[in-house]
Chains A and B, each alone.
Chain A
Amino acid sequence: MSSIKQVINDAVEKVRQPNPIRLRDLIRQIRSAKTAAEERAVVNRECAYIRLTFREEDSVWRCRNVAKLLYIHMLGYPAHFGQMECLKLIASPRFTDKRIGYLGAMLLLDERQDVHLLITNSLKNDLNSSTQFVQGLALCTLGAIASPEMSRDLAGEVERLLKSSNAYIRKKAAVCALRIILKVPELMEMFLPATRSLLSEKNHGVLITGVTLITEMCLQSPDMLAHFKKIVPNLVRILKNLIMAGYSPEHDVQGVSDPFLQVKILKLLRILGCGDSDASETMNDILAQVATNTESSKNVGNAILYETVLSIMDIKSESGLRVLAINILGRFLLNADKNIRYVALNTLLRVVHADNSAVQRHRSTILECLKDADISIRKRAMELCFALINGNNIRTMMKELLTFLENAEPEFKATCSSKCVLAAEKYSPNVRWHIDTLLKVVEAAGNHVPDDVVSSTIQLISETRAEQAYAVGELWRHLSVAQLEFQPMIQVSTWCIGEFGDLLLNGQADVTVEETQIIEIYQKILWSSQCSITTKEYALTSLMKLSARLNQEVGSIQQVVSAFGSHLNIELQQRGIEYSQLFTRHNHMRGPLLERMPPFEGVRGSGTEGEKGGVAITNGLDNSPDNQSLLNDLSSPNNNNNINSTHENNESNALLLLLGGIEPGEGDTVQASTSPATSTTNTTPAPRSTVNADILDLLGLEPGPTAPSSTTTTSTSPAQLSHTNNSSSPALLLDGLLNNTPSTTTTTTTGIAPLSTPTANSTTLPTNNFIIPQSLSQPSVPGIVAYDKNGMKLDMTFEVHDSVTTINMLATNTSLAQVTDFLFQAAVPKSLQLQMMTPSSTSMAPSATLTQVIKVNNPSKVPLRMRMRLSWQANGSVVQDQGEISHFPPALWQ
Chain B
Amino acid sequence: MQFMLLFSRQGKLRLQKWYEAHPDKLKKKITRELISTILARKPKMSSFLEWRDLKIVYKRYASLYFCCAIEQQDNELLTLEVIHRYVELLDKYFGSVCELDIIFNFEKAYFMLDELMVGGEVCETSKKNVLKAIAAQDLLQEDEIVEMALRDMGLI
Q: Residues of A at under 8 Å CB distance from B?
A: 24, 27, 31, 67, 70-71, 74-76, 80, 94-96, 99-100, 103, 106-107, 110-112, 131, 133, 136, 139-140, 143-147, 168, 171-172, 174-176, 178-179, 204-205, 208-209, 212, 250-251, 253, 258-261, 263, 267, 299-300, 302-304, 306-307, 338-343, 373-377, 865, 886
Whether B23 sits at the interface, judged by CB under 8 Å, is: yes
Please tell me if B153 contacts chain A, counting CB pairs below 8 Å.
no
Asked whether B77 lies within 8 Å of A299 as measured between CB atoms, the reply is yes
Q: Which residue of A lies closest to B148 (CB)?
A: A94
Q: A74-B13, A299-B77 are in contact. List 12 more A-B contacts (CB 8 A).
A: A74-B16, A140-B118, A143-B118, A144-B17, A172-B118, A175-B119, A209-B118, A258-B125, A259-B78, A260-B81, A260-B82, A307-B75
Q: Is the CB of A95 within 8 A of B19?
A: no
B104 near A172 with CB under 8 A, answer no
User: Given A95-B141, A259-B78 in contact, is the A76-B28 Cβ separation under 8 Å?
Assistant: yes
Question: Cβ of B150: which chain A residues have Cβ within 8 Å of it?
Answer: none
- Whether A100 contacts B133 by the Cβ 8 Å rule is no
Q: Which residues of B contact A376 (CB under 8 A)?
A: 45-46, 48-49
Interchain CA distance A267-B121 in the complex, whole Å:
14
- Find out whether the CB atom of A111 lies under 8 angstroms from the CB atom of B78: no
**Chain A: minimal CB distance from B33 (Å):** 14
Residue B94 CB within 8 A of the other chain = no
Most A CB within 10 A of own CB, among B28, B73, B81: B81
- Residues in chain A near residue B24, CB distance under 8 A: 80
Contact partner of A111 (CB less than 8 A), chosen from B21, B28, B111, is B21
Is there an interface contact between B46 and A263, defined as CB atoms closer than 8 Å?
no
B119 surroundings in chain A (CB, below 8 A) = 143-144, 146, 175-176, 178-179
A residues near B14, Cβ cutoff 8 Å: 74
- Of chain B, the residue at the smallest CB distance from A147 is B21
How many Å lie between the Cα of A139 and that of B48 in the bound state?
31
Closest 6 CB pairs of A and B: A143-B119, A303-B77, A110-B21, A143-B118, A175-B118, A303-B78
In the complex, are the beta carbons of B118 and A339 less than 8 A apart? Answer: no
How far, in whole Å, are A250 and B28 apart by their CA atoms in the complex?
38
Q: Shortest beta-carbon distance, A22 to chain B, in Å?
A: 11
Interface set, chain B 85-118, CB cutoff 8 A to A: 85, 103-104, 106-107, 110-111, 114, 118
Q: Name 20 interchain pairs, CB-CB below 8 A, sorted by A.
A: A71-B106, A74-B13, A74-B14, A74-B15, A94-B144, A95-B137, A96-B141, A100-B107, A140-B114, A175-B118, A204-B124, A204-B126, A205-B129, A209-B118, A261-B125, A263-B75, A304-B78, A338-B45, A374-B45, A865-B53
Q: Which residues of A contact B22 (CB under 8 A)?
A: 110
CB distance from B21 to the nearest CB of A (A): 4
Interface SS, A side:
helix
* Alpha-carbon gap, A299 to B144, bound state (A): 43
A133-B136, A260-B78, A338-B45 are known contacts. Are A144 and B19 too (CB-CB below 8 A)?
Answer: yes
Check B140–A136 contact: CB distance below 8 A. no
From residue B144, how far is it (CB to closest CB) to chain A in Å? Answer: 5
Q: How far is the CA of A303 from the CA of B17 in the complex (A)?
A: 24
Inter-chain contacts of A174 with B (CB < 8 A): 123
| Contact of B53 with A340 in the complex, beta carbons under 8 Å | no
Name which of B73, B75, B76, B85 has the most chain A CB atoms within 10 A of its CB. Answer: B75
CB distance A375 to B13 under 8 Å? no
CA–CA, A236 and B8, complex, Å? 43
With A and B bound together, what is the CA distance between A724 and B57 in angstroms? Answer: 58
Contact residues of B between 3 and 22, Cβ < 8 Å to A: 13-19, 21-22
Number of interchain pairs (Cβ within 8 Å)? 159
Assess the A303–B118 pair: CB atoms within 8 A. no
* CB proximity to A under 8 Å, residues B39-80: 44-49, 53, 73, 75-78, 80
A339 to B48, alpha carbons, bound, how many Å? 7
In this assembly, does B149 line the interface, its C-beta being within 8 Å of a C-beta of chain A?
A: no
Cβ contact within 8 Å between B76 and A204 = no
CA distance in complex: A80, B23 (Å): 12
Tell me the bound Cα distance from A31 to B103 in angstroms.
Answer: 10
- Contact partners of B122 in chain A: CB under 8 A: 208, 260
Supposing A94-B144, A306-B77 touch, asked if A250 and B46 sit within 8 A by C-beta, the answer is: no
Residues of B within 8 A of A110 (CB): 18, 21-22
State A111–B44 Cα separation when bound (angstroms): 39
Contacts of B13 in A (CB 8 A): 74-76
Residues of chain B with a CB closer than 8 A to A373's CB: 44
- Cα separation A691 to B107 with both chains bound (whole Å): 80
Are B48 and A175 closer than 8 Å at their CB atoms? no
Which listed residue, B21, B80, B106, B128, touches A112 by the CB 8 Å rule?
B21
Q: Which listed residue, A133, A168, A205, A302, touches B77 by the CB 8 Å rule?
A: A302
Minimum CB distance partner of A110 in chain B: B21
Residue among B48, B107, B122 with the most chain A CB within 10 A?
B122
Closest Cβ–Cβ distance, residue A690 to chain B (whole Å): 57
Give the residues in chain B near A299, CB-CB below 8 Å. 77, 80-81
- Tell me, in angstroms, the Cα distance from A172 to B144 when the chains sit together: 25
Measured between alpha carbons, how far is A111 from B22 in the docked complex, in Å?
9
Q: Report the bound CA distance from A377 to B46 in whole Å.
A: 8
Given A299-B80, A374-B45, A95-B144 contact (CB < 8 Å) = yes
Q: Is the CB of A307 within 8 A of B107?
A: no
Closest CB in chain A relative to B50 CB, distance in Å = 8
A96 to B148, CA, bound (A): 12
- Complex Cα distance, B126 from A100, in Å, reads 25
Chain A nearest CB from B45 CB (Å) reads 5
Shortest CB distance A528–B (Å)? 37
Q: Which residues of B contact A340 (CB under 8 A)?
A: 77
Q: Which of A171, A251, A342, A865 lies in contact with B123, CB distance below 8 A? A: A171
Chain B residue nearest to A179 in the complex (CB) = B119
- Contact in complex: B111, A99 (CB < 8 Å): yes
Docked pose: A99 CA to B110 CA in angstroms: 10
Q: Is A209 a contact of B121 with CB atoms below 8 Å?
A: yes
Q: Determine the distance from Cα of A681 to Cα of B73 in the docked complex, in whole angstroms.
A: 56
User: Which residues in B have their C-beta under 8 angstroms from that of A865?
Assistant: 53
**Minimum distance in angstroms from A622 CB to a CB of chain B:** 23
Contact residues in A for B128 (Cβ distance below 8 Å): 250
Report the bound CA distance from A303 to B46 in whole Å. Answer: 15
Q: Which residue of A lies closest to B53 (CB)?
A: A886
